[in-house]
Amino acid sequence: MESVQQNQKKIKIKLDFKDSKYATGRRKTSIAKVWLKKGSGKIYVNGKLYSDYFSSDNHKMQITKPFELIKQPTDFDVRCNVKGGGPTGQAGAMVHGISKALVLFDENFKTSLRIEKLTTRDSRAVERKKPGRKKARRSFQFSKR
């Protein structure tokens, strides 16, 4: 039983992405390498379907948002390798990468994606912890006596 599960995990989906556009997306500490080509609307993340990789419905909606904005939800196939960060950062990095790849595919998509700020990298990151404090801004509890 255990060896069957190991064999299933090792199987990688072979996808032909020779005539595709490549873009890199970033968010927090996540980096997404995205390949985009004309196809049937399948989105693969690290060899899995995006619906299997992301458990939250918010993340799934977020990833399909660029395609809905350009009114072509099932015209492109996506292959993506994501590393670093958590699911929210990874989903944001994917959206950034997909949007940049769509602009490379067709320059006309740029205005609709830029209005929603999907082509701009979200530069917000976790603030560093300061010395003499509990967290970045949180101080230790003050005791008068």
Whether 79 contacts 42, CB under 8 Å: no
Whether 95 contacts 25, CB under 8 Å: yes
The long-range contacts involving 134-139, CB below 8 angstroms and separated by at least 24 positions, are: none
Distances (CA, A) of 16 to 13, 35, 39, 126: 10, 10, 11, 37
pLDDT in tens, 95-144: 999 999 999 988 888 998 999 999 999 999 999 999 999 999 999 999 99
pLDDT in tens, 108-121: 889 989 999 999 99
User: Taking each helix axis from N to C terminus, what angle separates 57-69 and 87-105, rounded to the nearest 10 degrees?
Assistant: 10
Kind and range of the H or E element at 14?
A: none
In this structure, how many other beta carbons lie within 10 angstroms of the beta carbon of residue 57? 9
pLDDT in tens, 50-84: 999 999 999 999 999 998 888 888 888 999 999 99
- The neighbouring-strand residues paired with 24 are 33
Distances (CA, A) of 57 to 18, 50, 83, 115: 31, 11, 20, 23
Distance, in Å, from the CA atom of 113 to the CA atom of 89, rounded to the nearest integer, reads 19
Domains along the chain? 16-115 (3.30.230.10)
Distance, in Å, from the CA atom of 48 to the CA atom of 63, rounded to the nearest integer, reads 14
DSSP 8-state code for residue 132: T
